Amino acid sequence: MNHTSMATSRRRFLTALALSSPGLFVPGAFAEELARTFSVEEGPFYPDKLPLDTDNDLLIVNDSLTPAVGEVTHLSGRLLDAKGDPIKNALVEIWQVDSAGVYLRARPSHPGKFDANFQGFGRFLTGSTGEYYFRTIKPIAYDLRPAPHVHFAVKVKGREKWTTQLFVKGDPGNAKDRLYQNIHNPKARDSVTVDFVPVKNSRIGELSAKFDMVMGFTPEG
């Protein structure tokens, strides 16, 4: 199989995995409004130049045969409005540091000290049930931020870009992180704090994290 075929097969596999993820497609119908996901600032490290590969698999760049270093994590969830209904055709973006603690944007100042096999940024267009899926690594702390986190941006047509950050439940760095500690409301803090749990029977120690995001508007509103 050539590199092009391998890349195509990989993307088909990721799409199939996203569509078959358990619990990802529970219909929205909620009696009461859901609590909105807390918005956290974008930060200074959104890529100033997007990579050539912006798919939802951050472990493999283009058709490379060498994966990124880190704890493989299947990060998924749904994008919902306050009524629990799915928001489709929304662009979900994530970016985070690699296993060396370096953002894609900061690589020019870290020559040779970053993981070139980590994509660093990815995108996913939500489907009819608001689902999204990324294969990435478990986030780690770095010199400026003691709390491991993943940056999220949500872009919906006709709306301003919405951002937040996903934090790791139980990580000791959360207690030292300024942004995390500035979220004073316990429910707001819980809305951006997620368990990273082992994937059952994984031979390579993969993790799974489920992060549903509730927006403060309806798709039509």
Which domain range does residue 104 map to?
A: 3-25+35-214
Q: Is the pLDDT of residue 19 over 60?
A: no
Q: Is residue 65 part of a domain?
A: yes
Q: What is the residue type of 130?
A: G
Q: Is residue 107 part of a domain?
A: yes
Average pLDDT over residues 54-60: 97
Q: Is the pLDDT of residue 30 over 70?
A: no
Q: Is residue 109 part of a domain?
A: yes
Q: Please count the helices (runs of H) and the strands (runs of E) in the chain.
A: 3, 10
Average pLDDT over residues 75-101: 97
Give me the pLDDT at residue 218, please. Answer: 58
Q: Is residue 189 part of a domain?
A: yes
Give the closest residue to 89 by CA, choosing from 180, 219, 221: 219
Domain count within the chain: 1
**pTM for the model:** 0.85
Q: Is residue 181 part of a domain?
A: yes
Looking up residue 130, the CATH number of its domain turns out to be 2.60.130.10
Helices marked H in 147-210: 178-181, 186-190
CA–CA distances in Å: residue 170 to residues 74, 175, 213: 18, 10, 20
Q: Is the pLDDT of residue 13 over 60?
A: no
Give me the pLDDT at residue 2, please. Answer: 46
Retrieve residue 179's tokens: 């942004």
Q: Is residue 52 part of a domain?
A: yes
Give me the pLDDT at residue 111, please. Answer: 82
Report how far residue 149's alpha carbon sits from residue 31's, in angstroms, rounded to the nearest whole number. 32
Q: Is residue 221 part of a domain?
A: no
Give me the pLDDT at residue 155, please. Answer: 97
> What is the chain's percent helix, strand, coil content, to nearest 5?
15, 25, 60
Q: Residues 167-209: pLDDT tens digits?
A: 999 999 999 999 999 999 999 999 999 999 999 999 999 999 9
Q: How far apart are the first and last CA of the chain?
A: 48
Q: Residues 89-116: pLDDT tens digits?
A: 999 999 999 999 999 999 999 888 999 9
Q: Is residue 104 part of a domain?
A: yes
pLDDT band with cut points at 50, 70 and 90 for residue 14: low
pLDDT band with cut points at 50, 70 and 90 for residue 28: very low
Q: Which residues contact 192 (CB under 8 A, 6 or more apart)?
A: 37, 38, 40, 164, 165, 166, 167, 183
